[in-house]
Amino acid sequence: MSACFDLLHSDNLSSARRGVLQTRRGPIETPVFMPVGTQATVKGILPEALKEIGAQIILANTYHLFLRPGHDLVERAGGLHEYMNWDRPILTDSGGFQVFSLGDLRSIDEEGVVFQSHLDGSSHKLTPELSIAVQEALGADIIMAFDECIPYPSTREYTDESTALSGRWAKRCKQARKDDDALLFGIVQGGMFPDLRQRSAEELIEIGFDGYAVGGLSVGEGAELMYEMMEQTLPHLPVDAPRYIMGVGTPENLVEAVSRGADMFDCVMPTRNARNGVLFTGFGKISIKQARYREDREPIDPDCSCYVCRHYSRSYLRHLYQSNEILASVLNTHHNLHYYLDLMARMREAIATDRFDEFKTDFYAKRQPE
């Protein structure tokens, strides 16, 4: 099942790994960060700019596109790639996470989930079969199994039952799959219970997927517990398949997850923070709205090579933010995504040259306390 993944190199001091994920729209160098393009657009950045800063793949949200403009419309338009002018790979989530976090949940049973749209209150039912059909209609290159997202904290009993249900749904997702050229990933659940994580992983491996995601992390459990859950989960996954930590995270989270053997990530943090004026740098986050930047003629990060840092000062970016200008979001998004993608590129390089440990030491040494 995992012929799609070539493990190129493993770090000798950590579990970090360098690989290549083959998709029908070309190879993806891992570890990789996937910018989030919720509504058929990565907010505030053009596809050409995404390519310029090295985005290899983006994520699109099935829940949002199912509701608006509708997967049927996107399919008739030639698929999501054509619709949004993006010809590199797209991974779609299953819609599960948003059904539970955004929709007004009505009921969940063995068959699926009934929810009301956050847009207009209309009632919809999402099942494993429909989730796969929607993702295939969108033309996703990587499709995620439909699962129940477990709130944090949850009891062992609830987590046990939910994880078992997600396991049965994962099997139905595999059976529902029609587009064999797309990759299908299963999602390990199990909450914060290591034995349930292990059982979930084993069930998914038994079913057999092209890759394996770890869901239900970064839900409020704190970084230490999250890292522990990664450690309790990743070793149970096949070494020759890609491993995707969903919805994670901060730059520190990415470095720690890579060092624990994770290959793929997505998170709204770089794009959402950008729109709120929070910018990532090698020395930590800065909030561009602060008065201290009023006349600061330095770029966001003097060590950054991105378009924004080459052409604009902190003073100008603060002015744009204070003036509620569209270019504030555009420039901040460009810089933050460049930071995330560059961070991944530097990790790939470090792993390939057996200097990941050195990279990590340097990464932490440069950061200033917030």
106 forms part of the interface with a copy of itself (CB under 8 A): no
Min dist CB 88 to a copy of itself, Å, is 15
Q: Please report, as residue ranges, which positions from 78 to 97 form the binding site for a copy of itself (by CB under 8 A).
A: 83-85
Instruction: Name which position in 51, 168, 292, 311 contacts a copy of itself (CB under 8 A).
Output: 311
Instruction: Name which position in 319, 346, 355, 367 contacts a copy of itself (CB under 8 A).
Output: 319
Smaller CB separation from a copy of itself, 93 or 147: 93
Q: Site mask, a copy of itself, residues 240-279, x = CB under 8 A?
A: ----------------------------------------
Min dist CB 178 to a copy of itself, Å, is 24
Residue type, 260: R
76 forms part of the interface with a copy of itself (CB under 8 A): yes
Q: Any catalytic annotation for residue 240?
A: no
312 forms part of the interface with a copy of itself (CB under 8 A): yes
Q: Site mask, a copy of itself, residues 30-49, x = CB under 8 A?
A: ---------xxx-xx-x---
Smaller CB separation from a copy of itself, 37 or 190: 37
Give the pairing of strands 104-108 and 113-116: antiparallel
Min dist CB 313 to a copy of itself, Å, is 7
Smaller CB separation from a copy of itself, 68 or 156: 68
Count of CB atoms within 10 A of residue 22's CB?
Answer: 16
Closest CA to 38 of 275, 347, 344: 275
Instruction: Name which position in 315, 345, 352, 355 contacts a copy of itself (CB under 8 A).
Output: 315
HEC string of the chain? CCCCEEEEEECCCCCCEEEEEEECCEEEEECEEECEECCCCCCCCCHHHHHHCCCCCEEECHHHHHHCCCHHHHHHCCCHHHHHCCCCCEEECCCHHHHHHCCEEEEECCCCEEEECCCCCCEEEECHHHHHHHHHHHCCCEEECCCCCCCCCCCHHHHHHHHHHHHHHHHHHHHHCCCCCCEEEEEECCCCCHHHHHHHHHHHHHHCCCEEEECCCCCCCCHHHHHHHHHHHHHHCCCCCCEEECCCCCHHHHHHHHHCCCCEEECCHHHHHHHCCEEEECCEEEECCCHHHCCCCCCCCCCCCCHHHHHCCHHHHHHHHHCCCHHHHHHHHHHHHHHHHHHHHHHHHHHHCCCHHHHHHHHHHHCCCC
Site residue total, a copy of itself (CB under 8 A): 31
C-alpha span between 47 and 88 (Å, rounded): 10
Instruction: Name which position in 56, 61, 94, 329 contacts a copy of itself (CB under 8 A).
Output: 329
Q: Site mask, a copy of itself, residues 288-307, x = CB under 8 A?
A: ------xx-x----------
Annotated catalytic residue, options 11, 93, 147, 263: 93
Stretch that binds a copy of itself, among 6-14, 66-74, 250-258, 357-365 (CB under 8 A): 66-74
51 forms part of the interface with a copy of itself (CB under 8 A): no
Annotated catalytic residue, options 11, 147, 266, 301: 266
323 forms part of the interface with a copy of itself (CB under 8 A): yes
Instruction: Name which position in 27, 54, 69, 194 contacts a copy of itself (CB under 8 A).
Output: 69
313 forms part of the interface with a copy of itself (CB under 8 A): yes
171 forms part of the interface with a copy of itself (CB under 8 A): no
Give residues with Cβ within 8 angstroms of 143, minimum separation 6.
Answer: 91, 92, 94, 132, 135, 136, 177, 179, 182, 183, 184, 185
Give residues with Cβ within 8 angstroms of 330, minimum separation 6.
Answer: 44, 45
Min dist CB 181 to a copy of itself, Å, is 24
117 forms part of the interface with a copy of itself (CB under 8 A): no
C-alpha span between 178 and 182 (Å, rounded): 9
Smaller CB separation from a copy of itself, 159 or 271: 271
Active site residues: 93, 266
Report the interface residues with a copy of itself, using CB under 8 A: 39-41, 43-44, 46, 68-69, 73, 76-77, 83-85, 294-295, 297, 311-313, 315-316, 319-320, 322-323, 325-327, 329-330
